[in-house]
Chains A and B, each alone.
Chain A
Amino acid sequence: AVGQKSMTSFFAKK
């Protein structure tokens, strides 16, 4: 399957 990660898994919350 092909998926997409959430933006929060790439960039840390401030």
Chain B
Amino acid sequence: MFEARITQGSVLKKLVEALKELVTEGNFDVSSTGLTLQAMDSSHVCLVSLTLRDDGFDHYRCDRNMAMGIHFGNLSKILKCAGNEDTITLKAEDNADTLTLMFESANQDRISDFDLKLMSIESEHLGIPDQDYSAEIKMPSAEYQRIVRDLTSIGDTVLISATKEGIKFSTSGDVGTANITLRHNTTPEKPEEQTIIDLKEPVALTFALRYLNNFSKATPLAPQVKLSLTKDLPIFVEYQVGDLGNVRFFLAPKIDD
């Protein structure tokens, strides 16, 4: 038996909206410690890793480990039927072929349940090592979203360079070129409005803007985003989802063959 209840159901709605274009399907791996998902996009150049801890839910029970194969477009259709203020409960029997989603309105006067058909998905798990990065940048998630959206209208790829001057995002295309530089800025009173650059050594890497833009669909989940960069390694883009967990994106850099 698996059961997970979250009062703030809108978080689940936002999570699925953030992921569904990048990964069409994947396994929700549930265990006594929580719910995780690891999935690659169809071209395998980016990886999404979602962790929702058991103690982040209002109620959580999982008697045996299960991999529930989810089609995210279909899950999104069902979650669109939940109100933003609804409490959402996920339920499945052991070895079930459906996942039940129950939505309760805030004043308990409307209760609905939907069964999502589960899929059998073969997936391989990749080990992502904890490592020190050359540059780590924490910035407002809305700022990151604006930068990648603006640059996507100019070019296809972005060169991200981190130096002691700051972090520079550069692109070029048919209309011309664009450079946006962010400096370390801890003056805003609210921590979520600060930009914090932790530079161990200068680094510059090029990425496809289409994916970086796609990652910013997670903006509604967190006020800050963290970008981590090391030469020749994937960029690591992380959103903390309150006390519930995190969603992490990895994207391979563009390289000269």
Contact = CB atoms under 8 A, between A and B. Distances in A.
Contact of B252 (A1, A7, A12, A13): A7
Interface in A1-14: 1-14
Interface stretch (B40-48, B56-64, B92-100, B167-175): B40-48
A11 B255 contact: no
Instruction: Give the size range of B's interface with the partner.
Output: 20 to 34
Contacts of A4: 43, 45, 208, 252-255
A6 B47 CA distance: 10
A7 to B, nearest CB: 5
A5 B205 CA distance: 14
Interface string B16-56: 00000000000000000000000010011111000000000
Given A10-B234, A11-B47, A5 B125 contact: no
27 contacts: A1-B257, A2-B206, A2-B255, A2-B256, A3-B254, A3-B255, A3-B257, A4-B252, A4-B253, A5-B45, A5-B255, A6-B45, A6-B252, A7-B126, A7-B234, A7-B250, A7-B252, A8-B44, A9-B252, A10-B233, A10-B250, A11-B250, A12-B126, A13-B127, A14-B124, A14-B125, A14-B126
Interface of A: 1-14
